[in-house]
Amino acid sequence: MIDADSLPADLPLTERIVRAMPELTPAQQRMAAFVLDNTFRAATMRIDEFADAVGVSLATVNRFARALGFDGYPQCRAAMVRGYEATLAPIESLRTSKAQASASPDVMAASLAQAIENLDWTRRALDAGTCERAIESILQAHRIYVLGLGASGYLAGLLHHGLDPYCENVQSVVGAGGSTHAARQLFKLREGDLVIALGFPRYVSDTVTLCRRLRGRGVSVMVITDSPTSPLAPLGDIVIFVRSKPRLSSNSEASVLAMIDAICDAVAQRAKHAVDRATELTDFLLPWLDSASLATTNAPANAPASPVMGRIVTPQRVAHAASATAANVTATSLANATTAATASTQGASTLRNSGNSGNVSGPLPGIQDRKDSAS
């Protein structure tokens, strides 16, 4: 057995196992091999789960931990977890939540409440100067490449979709070729071009590598991420922080989606000929739009009936006032998202309070079905 007092407190678990291996029993060697081959999986296991996976008793697991110089399995598991804390956090949250009896409306309301908290934090943390520089860099860029990998790839696609009507040359970097294809695309960029990189927990290392490769090439990088501790934060010339604290998953995308919408609103407000382009695009897309919904989509409540209304959808993103700042437009868009999320939370509370009484009729506020506008 290893003398715990003779070992450095921060000695890696793998080194402890290597040193102890000659003195371990066959059962303990089997546990050691399991940990070496499945360190992350072992770190997620309770003592009973670990014992079942290896086919030993709980007492044998504790003896194994002491053979490695720990007081018991909790200390051994803490060593396994070291370095995986952020990665394991959503797993532990889900484990804790499942151990508690919660009705689905309660879970939904709690998730929406977390989204509201994230949105409110993000809106209050907005920096006017950063917002102005971000929108100006988008409008002035020769070419815009939107970069996101993993779950952020979906977010990157939505940002690409939102910017496309107002920017002459905006592209999504990642294609069928994956990260190497992205590297080939980014290699073509020159001074005056812009990369917008999105990355949230759990961060994809390829996104970090690609942004790092752009340093020194004269290409501006705008980063949208969650905190100053993000590995992407130091790589951005412009950094926008969006709080994405989750409840049960690795990341909450609600606030990120709201920020994407806010950025696109600010770009639309500042872009030249935005109204004309939005109108032309809508007119071009008419054959693919649901004609039954056009009469009410975006129509003012007191708008008189006319042949035009119902045939052409009023563009959503209109330059309301030339004097409006990017920060104001962004903050307003985030505030609207917070209001919508609050309404959804109230709807979930209504469902929870109604129980099985059958008093709820029709869709809940904020949770009603919506048709895809295809625009």
Mind listing the pLDDT tens digit for each residue in 204-230?
A: 889 999 888 887 787 899 999 998 888
Question: Could you tell me which residue, 233 or 278, shows the higher pLDDT?
Answer: 233
Burial class (CB in 10 A: 0-12, 13-18, 19+), 121: middle
pLDDT at position 179, please? 76
Distances (CA, A) of 260 to 60, 84, 294: 53, 29, 25
ω into 202 cis (within 30 of 0): yes
Q: 76-114 burial string, b = 16+ CB within 10 Å, else e?
A: bbebbbeeeeebbebeeeeeeeeeeeeeebebbbbbbbb
Q: Is 272 strand, coil or helix?
A: coil
Q: What is the pTM of this model?
A: 0.62
Instruction: Specify whether the CB–CB gap between 352 and 105 falls below 8 A.
Output: yes
What confidence score (pLDDT) does residue 361 get? 40
Rounded mean pLDDT of 259-275? 91
Q: pLDDT of 12-47, one tens digit each?
A: 788 888 888 888 999 999 999 998 888 878 888 889
pLDDT confidence band for 298 (50 / 70 / 90):
low
